[in-house]
């Protein structure tokens, strides 16, 4: 759960229907997780810690038309936390973008 977040996406360049952008995210919040023993989750053992996640990555977006696009991204997350369980590491994401305003206005 993020309490305070700052994120920005910077478009690097665009080639016809494909655009490339960089991504930066800084936040403050809580990380919730369940304790485990020997890789078995313990019941009713949810714990939370304050975290400060810092993320950076790259996105590639393909625009099918003015209102539908496919976005792929990859990056790295580093989290400052008092937890013994690290959530640092690389990530990837896949998303479908829908621009409802362009959909309603399009003929």
pTM above 0.75, yes or no: no
**DSSP for residue 39:** T
Q: Which of 28, 14, 95, 26 is nearest to 56 (CA)?
A: 26
Rounded Cα–Cα distance for residues 39 and 23 (Å): 34
> Looking at residue 1, what DSSP letter applies?
-
Instruction: State the Cα angle at 12 between 3 and 10, rounded to 5°.
Output: 20
Domain ranges of the chain: 2-101
pLDDT tens over the chain, length 107 residues = 557 888 898 999 999 999 999 999 999 988 877 776 666 666 667 778 888 989 999 999 999 998 899 999 999 999 987 677 778 999 999 999 888 887 787 66
CA 17 to chain centre: 23
């Amino acid at each position: 759960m993020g309490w305070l977040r700052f994120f920005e996406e910077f478009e690097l360049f665009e080639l016809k229907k494909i655009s490339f952008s960089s991504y930066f995210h800084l936040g403050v919040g809580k990380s919730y997780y369940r304790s485990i023993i020997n890789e078995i989750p313990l019941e009713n053992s949810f714990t939370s810690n304050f975290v400060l996640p810092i993320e950076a990555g790259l996105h590639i977006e393909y625009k099918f038309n003015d209102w539908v696009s496919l976005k792929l991204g990859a990056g790295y997350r580093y989290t400052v936390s008092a937890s013994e369980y690290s959530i640092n590491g690389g990530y990837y994401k896949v998303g479908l973008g829908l621009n409802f305003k362009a959909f309603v206005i399009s003929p």
